[in-house]
Amino acid sequence: MGGITILDGGMSRELERCGAELRQPEWSALALIEKPEAVLQAHRNFVQAGAQVVTTNSYALVPFHIGAERFQRDALRLAALSGKLARDAADAVKGVRVAGSIPPLFGSYRPDLFDAGQAAALLAPLIEGLSPHVDFWLVETTSSLIEARTVHAALTPTCKPVWLSFTLEDAPRDVPRLRSGESVADAAKLAVELGVDALLFNCSAPEVMEEAVRVAARTCAENNARCPIGAYANAFVEKKDDGPLVANETITQVRTDLSPELYRDFAQTWINAGATLVGGCCGVGPAHIAALRDL
């Protein structure tokens, strides 16, 4: 796996294993508020498993999860804490970098709720709190092109590298699409236009990652862009009814079939398609990351 960078996995379930409570609406932010030592231990567990990048536990630091009043009061402090904890874990092992997680500001998988006019005010405390501690930005679970463009503009003044990660429709199809319905090819063209430092796909079923990586790699090549491509899938149970999957409403069940070995096999297909950045999202733990390390 020469030239492959191994990312960490999903924080929420690992926080539970480290003794933190996991509940909605606060979700993973609750550990920052009540048990920050669990956050540090979760980061350490991923590093021990082989992760070369640890991602700040700032994903749920949005009004959707912690409420508007607490966001106004505590977002800056909690973002800084999440950055420091990740930095402490990374600095203990040579070569480990810290990614500053920039989450969906209005709820995961909800491109219909994105409000560009409000985005800057919500991003400001996250950027200010995380900036001293992170090596680069990881814009996660991005559902639409307008969301990507807006967040990238807010991050540009920091002069830090930006990794842009989109979430995909989970139903396999010939033309892979974002949750907004926009195509992966158009997302890759935007990444080239913005000059991001990496283009990734996350928080989607592992089965849909391969084709998205292939399309993204081909589109970047066609546009003469040398942009690293990556994937880190979730382990959510497939939703069987006709309603939309909304990641924020409950603690979503995770698959029992997605063993570390099976996840490793999926990751191999992503690498074969052109990915050089591989890791895990929700429900993917240190054992899965260790399987990637041992691939």
Give the residue among 114, 10, 97 at the shortest CA–CA distance from 62: 114
pLDDT for position 1: 45
Give the residue among 106, 102, 99 at the shortest CA–CA distance from 123: 102
Give yes or no for a contact between 57 and 85, defined as CB atoms under 8 angstroms apart.
yes
Report yes or no on whether pTM surpasses 0.85. yes
Beta bridge partners of 232: 202, 279
State which residues form the domain around 250: 5-293
Question: How many H helices and E strands in the chain?
Answer: 11, 8
pLDDT for position 171: 85
pLDDT for position 253: 85
pLDDT for position 136: 98
Q: How far apart are CA 191 and CA 152, in angstroms?
A: 10
Per the prediction, the chain carries an average pLDDT of: 94
The CATH number that applies at residue 272 is: 3.20.20.330
User: What is the Rg, in whole angstroms, of the alpha carbon atoms belonging to the chain?
Assistant: 17
Q: Rounded to whole angstroms, what are the CA distances from 134 to 101, 148, 174, 278?
A: 9, 20, 37, 19
How many structural domains are present in the chain? 1
18-63 per-position pLDDT tens digit: 999 988 899 999 999 999 999 999 999 999 999 999 999 999 999 9
Q: Which of the residues in the chain have pLDDT under 70?
A: 1-2, 239-251
